[in-house]
Structure 1
Amino acid sequence: MYAIVEIAGQQFKVAKDQKVFVHRLATEEGKKVSFDNVLLIGDGDKVTIGAPAIDGAQVGAKVIKHLKGDKVIVFKKKRRKGYRVKNGHRQSLTEIVIENITASGAKKAAPKKEAKKAEPKVAAPVKEAAPKVEAKKAPAKKAAAKKGDDLKKIEGIGPKIAQTLTDAGIATFAELAKTDAAKISEIIAGVRGNHVTDTWPKQAEMAAAGEWDALKKWQDELDGGKA
């Protein structure tokens, strides 16, 4: 007999006398613990599936010890920023041994009953309708604003420049690709900083075409949008 049970947010396929490592449990070492969120039980050719859990089913286990898993190195880096952070992590775990799998009370989902046909209703006598007053037509809703692209994916464009371009009617990669670099410089003239817009239309053209791998490779060679 085996079962699929949810333990501490994870699903495990377990059998009797099997040892399992799960996320840290609050139960003390040597104590017994039970899990009733059993999703499936298999016994030979017979398989019982819950909807989602099996009513009355339970998996009993015993806590052997609490421990920590292997160390995992987490390394973060931001290019051209001088930012590097290295951290280690060891997950807190609990080792348990499965002692029993109880399927008593397990019930399969009952078949749905056919809905009773509704009896035909007797139509009520029709009253003379009052003269209709033509209602004023509500003004048509304005078309939803067009959703723009994330212009910050273009090398050299930050949040403030992206907002400035959007306010000027350039909200998508396709629109940016059709805009001359000199025109872009005029639009963002009020944004502080020395911005080189020469490559922006070409980057936007690649982004609009979905050429992300080629664009990423090119952007690694750029510095603030300048080749």
Structure 2
Amino acid sequence: MYAIVEIAGQQFKVAKDQKVYVHRLQDEEGSKVTFDNVLLLEDGSNITIGAPAIDGAAVEAKVIKHLKGDKVIVFKKKRRKGYKVRNGHRQYLTELVIESIVTSGAKKAAPKKEAAAPKKAEPKKAEAVKAEAPKKAAPKKAEKADDLKKVEGIGPKIAETLIAAGISTFAELAKTDAAKIADIISDVRGNHVTDTWPAQAKLAAEGKWDELKKWQDELDGGKPA
């Protein structure tokens, strides 16, 4: 018996006791997780297909550990320009073990019925007052990311790595421990001192740019000159 289920934006073919590596989840190690977006179930000769998901079906799993994937080398070169850049990347992953596939309540998708032709509306009387359609609320704009490169010692590659780890604003960087920052950017080439980054980010988040600029003049790569 197997199922095709969507986990963290990816589709996986899973069976009981199988180990699966997915994009990093927020759940703690040892916790139980349930995924109910099951697209297909196979039980012997019976195959159930969702439309798009199967009602009542779910895949239950346990978080084994969080880890990083194998290093991938990204090399860029431009001919006759003397341009060469070599970077490494390791994807944040979560290891799961599938404990069970729940099929109770699973139903095959019923064929869609053709919509009946709409009836023609009767013409309204001249004296009838037209009701105004309610205006849709404007969608909220997502929080804009800050330019983390304004912190002394942070370059484009480090900023990209921090954003990939979920740290995209000065306020988020200010709340992150320097040791944790160093662990996040451990794959970025170079000797990076992160001790002052949270304090710099706090000044930037509070808009104290003059005070930050005066302090940065005394720093060299994020550490006292």
Taking structure 1 as the reference length, what is the TM-score of the superposition? 0.49
